[in-house]
Amino acid sequence: MSGPDLNLLVTLDALLQQGSVAGAGRKLGLSPSAMSRALARLRTVTGDPLLVRAGRGLVATRRADALREEVHRLLEDARAILRPAETVDLYCLDRTFVLRTSDGFAETIGPALIQRVAEEAPHVRIRFIRKLDKDSAGLRAGDIDLETGVVGGTISPEVRAQALFEDRYVGVVRPDHPLSKGALTAARYADGRHVLVTRQGLGLGTIDETLKALGLTRAIVTTVDGFAAALALTRGSDLISTVPERHTLGLRDGFVTFALPVHTEAFTVSLLWHPRMEGDPAHRWLRTLVRHTCDTVLREALRV
């Protein structure tokens, strides 16, 4: 029995990306009649009309919408597999890579990463920019080479992700703060004055939900958009910051850090990139270097 015609995936991808028979034909260099025949064959194979008439144009069916990103990702994977193997001369590589990360990552991992890059590829530059949301547009557009973040529903489905490390939230106060001494209870934690980091996808709401179940409420005195700002305010005041433990290793020197008196789930920080960069040998080298540097820095920090 013959298997499926995998060439149909190329045709299906063009139709779903273009949303029209004529547009897909131009992309693939086929006539409108040839594309119409291909669409008819795809309808038979999938058992779905895929594109249906709406006024003067065509719209995708629900199944076509569900298939769009998956089919595109399959083709990107196939192209990466079939691409000839390449090598890169790191000593001669002259390139700037853009890394979008939450504040704390550059301070914690950045120094060691820059040192490793200088040793292996002296003409490579690393540009760190702050990550204030989970929008993947920069990766798709090629403006950003790598991101770090927690994979969630807002991450574009075609984005590649590889785990870097697990993290958890901890409390942070200045050294002479009342919470730096004595037994820490949920009531003492809630009674303090708090600075809240507000940014999409942080998952800090579970802390307040747990406190509410205990009949407690935090007093939020001020809000900021990043962990560095929260810790800067905490350093010179009686405010309490709640921040990721490993992510902020490079920011918490001189502070008192304590485990939260309420349960919070650990979360995984991942390295994110667009599949178009999958087979790029220089990009692949940097991805490996970031992972190894994270492992080394965090392993050494745990020994201290």
User: In whole numbers, what is the pLDDT of the chain averaged over residues?
Assistant: 88
Which pLDDT belongs to residue 201? 54
CATH number of residue 118's parent domain: 3.40.190.10
The torsion angles phi and psi of 147, rounded to 5 degrees, stand at: -130, 160
> Could you give the 3-state DSSP secondary structure of residue 290?
helix
Q: Mind listing the pLDDT tens digit for each residue in 138-164?
A: 888 889 999 998 887 566 778 899 999
State the residue range of the domain holding 212.
169-265
> Do the Cβ atoms of 40 and 15 come closer than 8 Å?
no
CB atoms within 10 A of CB 88: 15
Question: In what helix (H) or strand (E) does residue 45 lie, and over which residues does it extend?
Answer: helix 32-46
- Helix orientation angle between 7-18 and 62-82, rounded to the nearest 10 degrees: 130
Residue 88 lies in a domain: no
Query: What is the torsional sign of CA 295, 273, 141, 200?
Result: negative
For residues 156 and 234, membership in a common domain is answered with: no
Task: Please state the rounded mean pLDDT for residues 216-221.
Answer: 93
pTM value > 0.75: no
For residues 244 and 103, membership in a common domain is answered with: no
> Do the Cβ atoms of 231 and 243 come closer than 8 Å?
yes
Residue 248 lies in a domain: yes
Confidence at 131, pLDDT banded by 50, 70, 90: confident
Q: Mind listing the pLDDT tens digit for each residue in 29-65?
A: 888 888 889 889 989 988 998 888 887 778 888 898 8
Residue 1 lies in a domain: no
Tokens of 66: 């569900």
Domain boundary among 82, 116, 143: 82
For residues 298 and 257, membership in a common domain is answered with: no
134, pLDDT greater than 80: no
Residue 26 lies in a domain: yes
DSSP-derived secondary structure for 132-174: -S---HHHHHTS-SEEEE---TTS-TT-EEEEEEEE-EEEEE-
CATH number of residue 57's parent domain: 1.10.10.10
For residues 297 and 252, membership in a common domain is answered with: no
Which pLDDT belongs to residue 1? 44
Which pLDDT belongs to residue 200? 59
Confidence at 304, pLDDT banded by 50, 70, 90: low
Task: Please state the rounded mean pLDDT for residues 173-178.
Answer: 94
Task: Please state the rounded mean pLDDT for residues 17-21.
Answer: 87
For residues 210 and 188, membership in a common domain is answered with: yes
Residue type present at position 137: A
173, pLDDT greater than 80: yes
How many domains in the chain? 3
Write the CA distances from 155 to 58, 69, 106, integer angstroms.
28, 13, 21
Tokens of 132: 């204030």
Tokens of 223: 């809000």
Biggest distance spanned by C-alpha atoms of the chain: 79
Which pLDDT belongs to residue 132? 73
DSSP letter for 85, please.
Answer: P
Which pLDDT belongs to residue 3? 64
For residues 101 and 32, membership in a common domain is answered with: no
For residues 158 and 177, membership in a common domain is answered with: no
Confidence at 104, pLDDT banded by 50, 70, 90: confident
